[in-house]
Chain A
């Protein structure tokens, strides 16, 4: 068993520039430095001594090679290893839908998917929907109709909506309810979501 290490005294690389952006950038302020300290991570991994396996994930059209513990869920890996934090962890048990991603086009719960078990498929997260910096018509419709409040369920809702419209471009209200009912919202935005999805469907059909 490795000896217990003294707590490291090295200062962390919290960049001052990032730190100050919070105020300057207004509502879009992203204060967080996403780059993980690689060297430190490696040390941490060695310390923990948990077995790892090498995997490959295809997310939003990009391939990632990663070394993961078999018990890590796809959700954990997206959020904490790939810094794709748009996919949210809420219940961690497949009871809310906030972690919804598309796997080969179908909505699934990434909290109930092991990362090792997500290889060989095309994964799409909320970040993939506006990868070019422009919002997808669905996202625009969500904003236009105020189909969000706290926003924590929103990425999952948008992804489930995308899967629905890909499958059924002209959904009825009941189709929308059936298609999106695996996503829970606590603020109570459902009514607005119905409108947003109907509107987006129209926009998408026109284009």
Chain B
């Protein structure tokens, strides 16, 4: 079979991956094909387990003889351990053992910059020791009995300060300490240029420059990070709240130096991930080590504070955007300088993709610096970089539109791009124009001035919109197996996981559609390495576009076998047969048909002893390469209506219309759930969420769900989803693109533009709290007292 290299993107990181080209992959369904199961609002198949409390999450795994592990974490943002004594803790009745750098293997961590237990601590929450005890309370009791002495070291908590020449070095030696590159990851910023930005600014009639600050945002998954590890001889089973059962298994095999085949990782349900559970964590390794060492299962469940301190975040960014356009609204130049705080170890904090790709602009440059600070390490967080980047970019667009006297929507349409300007490729499909049109219509964008009159006294109405791009192609690797049994039911075994995005349901629909079976004749397993073939991480909106084609291919292979069987039974050539709604039928004479369950009866036979024996049909499928000659992206636009109280600074988001295109619409019910969820999380970013670090101690002071604020039921607007069904035949055989990240991306920008529309001044920092609104109003009054001069390059 032919192997090719294909381009695969995950959260903005691009890799070329070898993949076998499937020889008999089914052709994409035609756009107008009448499908029986795909595109229908099937309630999610695991719903009954989740509403009844039966669904077992990692938190819920309680095994007999199980021990509990608790972590002792660094109280300092930067320190060296000078002495560590665990004897008092180990003497506490009920404590089984305390693990530290002194009695654990030398396992490298953070890309070889640190270890499982390091003696240099680089952020508050860094792991110092782990206690294992008979229950969680005893383990917690032991923590204060661990005696540690530290040499405190100077620290820095924000990226701008970290770049200054006299800032303390977070890592000693290496290129990041080169002159002018203090604490700069990789020793230099990453650069992108196309065209000639100076020329572009010179051609502009209007040039503006603004700096936008977005804070660090933690994931706050409701299920905190946790693992349970148990050994049977040399076989290890790990329950892990993860988005990556297969990658976690590989990491465990490598770290523990045991065969992959000896490890089983299970995560049937996880209480949220949002990117914070994409890879293995220290506690999982320690649970496995301790379970082996102590001969009993070990459970570790982080508490809310630990989760906020040490389990990743969306990095804080300082983004300076300069933009120029002609009087008619044509963009001539865009530049971005981004300083992002990655935390104490390597991570990504780029935000430039939307600026480089969304709008047509010949002259663009971006300079992005990933900067170390003494705080927890960033991780991908739903639409990494895109949320912040779009929030800044979309405000710049509105400011320019106002200068040109253009409607914000017209300004965006003026700069609509039909090609991927970074890769010089056409888009496979691009439903953005439709998203603008249908979204604007649903929202009443063109008639919004009438609604402006609803402003009452100090409560001002405002309207705003923003655009979204995301690389939603997915790609290999991804595998699936489908079994068809003698009673006409089928089971799907798919790589990847359902992290709450209804992937089980989507995959089941794909298999049902291909097999011609009603959905209730299928079951599906995802999230167990022992029961499913390989799938890569479930993140970056990649699961559906990666796994759906694999599932379809596996189902098609089974269907081929089924039709062969039916052909013999019905005395018709298999090529003439197809399946629909549980029947095999003759395509030339549809009334000639036979129930699939009748056809498959032949698979069952007896030995004459009364024992029933089953044959079954089995098909395997995998994800083939991505198309090389087009760019595959998901698109969308959101429209926001807000009311701002100029006397209290309170913002109420009244309404969001979210129009999104992500290829074929697999399930309108669960797709709209994805969209509503994205909007609500975007609202959290815009109005509430911010990690607050105390300068005097380096500690996070809002590591709980009261002070770290997630939107409540009473804070959300009316949300209307506009689902644009545009099967993308070039993308893959199912025509689907990723929808997980897209809906969070434009929300903060749309809200920010609506707030500016209401106030007449802008808030250049999120979250837009009453404090910042009132401060912006105060500053706006001062500014408006002086005549404004248009800046020219």
Contacts and interface: CB of A to CB of B under 8 A. Distances in A.
Given A32-B63, A44-B134, A95 B704 contact: yes
Pairs A-B, 6 closest by C-beta atoms? A86-B53, A152-B271, A150-B500, A188-B680, A188-B677, A151-B50
A22 B501 contact: no
B518 to A, nearest CB: 16
B223 A72 contact: no
A207 interface: no
B56 A31 contact: yes
Interface residues of B, number: 92
B285 to A, nearest CB: 19
Contacts of A153: 222
A70 to B, nearest CB: 11
14 contacts: A7-B294, A10-B65, A22-B528, A22-B530, A29-B528, A33-B64, A44-B135, A79-B60, A93-B706, A130-B52, A149-B674, A150-B221, A151-B55, A186-B221
A95 to B, nearest CB: 4
Interface stretch (B91-99, B160-168, B405-413, B776-784): B91-99
Given A11-B295, A27-B523, A143-B48, A71 B230 contact: no
Contacts of B210: none
Interface residues of A, number: 89
Contacts of A23: 525, 528, 530-531
A107 interface: no
Contact of B53 (A76, A126, A187): A126
Contacts of A96: 222, 705
A144 to B, nearest CB: 6
Interface of A: 1-2, 4, 7-14, 19, 22-23, 26-37, 40, 44-45, 47-50, 69, 71-72, 76, 79-80, 83-93, 95-96, 98, 125-127, 129-130, 135, 139, 142-146, 148-155, 158, 177-178, 180-181, 183-193
A150 B64 contact: no
A47 B142 CA distance: 14
A114 B686 CA distance: 37
B713 A146 contact: no
Given A146-B43, A146-B44, A127 B500 contact: no
Nearest to B64: A37
Given A85-B62, A91-B705, A139 B528 contact: no
B222 A98 contact: yes
Given A143-B47, A151-B271, A189-B677, A32 B60 contact: yes
A151 B269 contact: yes
B293 interface: yes
Contacts of A19: 237
Given A27-B45, A191-B716, 13 more contacts: A22-B266, A22-B530, A32-B60, A32-B63, A44-B134, A79-B60, A88-B223, A95-B706, A129-B52, A143-B43, A143-B48, A154-B50, A191-B676
Nearest to A80: B62
B43 A144 contact: yes
B135 A12 contact: no
A180 B48 contact: no
B137 A71 contact: yes
Contacts of B693: none
Nearest to A13: B64
Interface string B296-307: 110001011000
A28 B49 contact: yes
Given A96-B222, A152-B222, A184-B710, A190 B500 contact: no
Interface in B627-671: 669-670
A36 B60 CA distance: 13
Contacts of A14: 63-64, 230, 232, 297
A168 to B, nearest CB: 16
A72 B135 CA distance: 11
B398 to A, nearest CB: 25
Contact of B304 (A86, A87, A90): A90
B525 A184 contact: no
A150 to B, nearest CB: 3
Interface of B: 43-57, 59-66, 90-91, 93-94, 96-97, 133-138, 220-224, 230, 232, 237, 239, 266, 268-272, 274, 293-297, 301, 303-304, 491, 499-502, 504, 523-525, 528, 530-531, 669-670, 672-674, 676-681, 704-706, 710-714, 716, 719
B296 A180 contact: no
A139 B271 CA distance: 18
Contacts of A143: 43-44, 47-48, 51
B297 A12 contact: yes
A135 B54 CA distance: 11
Nearest to B670: A146
Contacts of A35: 64
Contacts of A10: 65, 295
The listed residue with most B CB atoms (<10 A of its CB), out of A27, A49, A92, is A27
B220 to A, nearest CB: 6
Contacts of B712: 181, 184
Nearest to A187: B677
A11 B230 CA distance: 10
A12 B222 contact: no
A143 B55 CA distance: 14
B47 A142 contact: yes
A7 B138 contact: no
Contacts of B43: 143-144, 146
The listed residue with most B CB atoms (<10 A of its CB), out of A50, A151, A154, A178, is A151
Contacts of B57: 85, 88, 152
B93 A49 contact: yes
Given A144-B43, A158-B51, A7 B677 contact: no
B483 to A, nearest CB: 11
